[in-house]
Structure 1
Amino acid sequence: MTDSKEWLLTELKIVEDWEKDQSDLWFWEKIGRLPFKIMDKWTPDFIQKKISVLLDELGQYIQTGGRYLSSVKNIPNYYPNLHVRDLDDVRILPVSTMDSAVEKITNNRKRIATFQGATTGIGGLFTLTIDIPLLLSLQLKTLQDMAICYGYNPNEKEERLFVVKCLQFVSSDIVGKQAILAQLSQFDGPDESSRREVMSELQGWREVVFSFRDQIGWKKLFQMIPIAGLVFGAFINRSAVNDIAEAGKMLYRKRRIIERLRQH
């Protein structure tokens, strides 16, 4: 382990500053979400129903991982130039090395999201219902791969809950963001009762779906227009994956930095 205590404290401050910056967006978030809430009643039933299906899928994901689960067997692919074979090897890597692996994943997933949004948007109404579950799947996979890069195992139920909490964080307003940050700060704490309290809040994933409907579902109405949906789809999907990747990197990074500081 080559991370000095001074470097870790500096990097922790960067993450904490990022957390504070989230509160600066509250006014614009409320203004931005207002038309979506007003227009929600105009959202076609087929979109509402399709997004509602994700409710059950996220519940199954927390319980078993289902078809969304990433594999720790892919670890050598994240660190091709290093002799890294398992999570124990990952956990002793410098945080900066973990960051580099995550950056590569982020850039790759943003390209995939852009292509995916464009290809499903080109067909308008006929391909829109395909795009919604594909986007959720890409977001989940991105967060799980980031977890592995920072040495956490998405096969564990509590780690899958952390992934969903990251999704919930991105979809929340400032009040929700503050509450989730408070919960996640206890995730690796020594107080087992606090951790159990976070683990018991499995209903939180429902809020993810409702926010997904408000923020993503209505926006995707623009994709109902054939050809023009190509541009809207590419932009919306790339933006969605970029937001989740930024949040995932910061939240996982903070966990790893704090654990390192405890070892000093």
Structure 2
Amino acid sequence: MSSTSSIYEQLVATELHKWQQAMRKRPSFWNKTTKKVQKKINNIIPEKVHLAITKAIKEITRGVLFGSGFTTRKPRKINSLEETEAKIKERINFYSSSAAVEGAATGFGGFLLSLADFPLWLTLKMKMLFEIASRYGYDTKDYKERIYILYIFQLTFSSQQHRNMIFENMESWDLIKEQLPDDLNTFDWRTFQLEYRDYIDLAKLLQLIPGVGAIAGALVNHMLTNKLGKTAMNAYRMRDNRFKKVKLLTGNPTLSLPDK
């Protein structure tokens, strides 16, 4: 192993350690207060509305996950981690910029076009996750890898309390994936849509305001797509055997690298 690779992997180990600490962080007072307010708002919304939204999000997400455009990408051959992640960062920038253009266009079009933002933006985000998974060497034809993609999505767009639960499952992924049912219908779509809606609602409301909708749509889409990409990178790093020996609880993170 070259000294350059060793240095890069040590930097990744440090970054991964900080990210893992953030994912484990307990909800703050503000997080808890915000979640309570959102819960009260959700309780006011009629049940039939929740059912309709849950069904819509479920079908759109399932369509994106299992659409023909998402079934042909093969796992990429990984050379060095540094080279792989340089390509991934380029693709994250590409998808973030594309999402910004899409957000600006739908925001500029007013309320009706803003409604189209959800499926268009979701498709861009999922395509990015599929490509990231492939570049890390994972086969997205595998149903369980698609569940992991949904976990990454939830980890990014959830309250801190729900994020803690999702992250705990992802840390034990080798065990969790063996217990997954074969039917995706058993996935908790209601929680998925509630957490996603609660996370992005306030930011996306600005997109509906005439005059500033295009700017808000571009900024929000770019920022959150970029955040999703970075979350995905750390989520896949966490599964890399090279980083499973990172000391997570005390002291500075260290990485035990194999001799080559």
- Which residue among 208, 212, 218 is the counterpart of 1:224? 208
Identity of aligned residues (%): 21
Shift of 1:208: 2.1
User: For the residues of structure 2 that align with 1:239 and 1:33, how far apart are their CA atoms?
Assistant: 22
User: For the residues of structure 1 that align with 2:81 and 2:61, how far apart are their CA atoms?
Assistant: 30
Shift of 1:118: 0.7
Q: Which residue number in structure 2 is paired with residue 207 of structure 1?
A: 191
Shift of 1:72: 2.2
Q: Which residue number in structure 1 is paired with residue 31 of structure 2?
A: 29
The superposition leaves residues 51-98 of structure 1 with CA deviations (integer Å, 9 ceiling, x where unpaired) of 741212324555xx225516426xxxxxxxxxxxx63xx23x111111
Shift of 1:172: 2.5
The superposition leaves residues 168-211 of structure 1 with CA deviations (integer Å, 9 ceiling, x where unpaired) of 11122233222222222232x3x5xx432245685144422221
The 5-angstrom pairing of residues 113-192 of structure 1 reads 113-187=99-173, 189=174
The superposition leaves residues 144-165 of structure 1 with CA deviations (integer Å, 9 ceiling, x where unpaired) of 1111111112121111111001
User: For the residues of structure 2 that align with 1:46 and 1:234, how far apart are their CA atoms?
Assistant: 28
After TM superposition, the structure 1 stretch with the greater mean CA deviation from structure 2, 50-59 or 145-154, is 50-59
Contact 2:96/2:226 (CA < 8 Å) preserved in 1?
A: yes
Q: Structure 1 residues 11, 228: closer, same or farther in 2, change over 3 A? A: closer
The 5-angstrom pairing of residues 1-264 of structure 1 reads 8=9, 11-24=12-25, 26-27=27-28, 28-33=30-35, 36-37=38-39, 41=44, 52-61=55-64, 65-67=66-68, 69=70, 71-72=72-73, 87=76, 90-91=77-78, 93-187=79-173, 189=174, 194-198=176-180, 202-258=186-242, 264=258
What TM-score results when the alignment is normalised by the length of structure 2? 0.76
Shift of 1:36: 4.6
After TM superposition, the structure 1 stretch with the greater mean CA deviation from structure 2, 246-255 or 45-54, is 45-54
The superposition leaves residues 35-57 of structure 1 with CA deviations (integer Å, 9 ceiling, x where unpaired) of 555555589x9999567412123
Unpaired runs of 5+ residues, structure 2, are 246-255
Which has the larger helix fraction? 1
Unpaired runs of 5+ residues, structure 1, are 74-85
Contact 1:121/1:223 (CA < 8 Å) preserved in 2?
A: yes
User: For the residues of structure 2 that align with 1:259 and 1:225, how far apart are their CA atoms?
Assistant: 45
User: For the residues of structure 1 that align with 2:71 and 2:56, how far apart are their CA atoms?
Assistant: 21
Contact 1:124/1:224 (CA < 8 Å) preserved in 2?
A: yes
Task: Calculate the aligned-residue CA RMSD, in Å.
Answer: 3.5
Q: Structure 1 residues 4, 113: closer, same or farther in 2, change over 3 A? A: closer
Q: Structure 1 residues 31, 110: closer, same or farther in 2, change over 3 A? A: farther
Query: How many equivalent residue pairs?
Result: 242
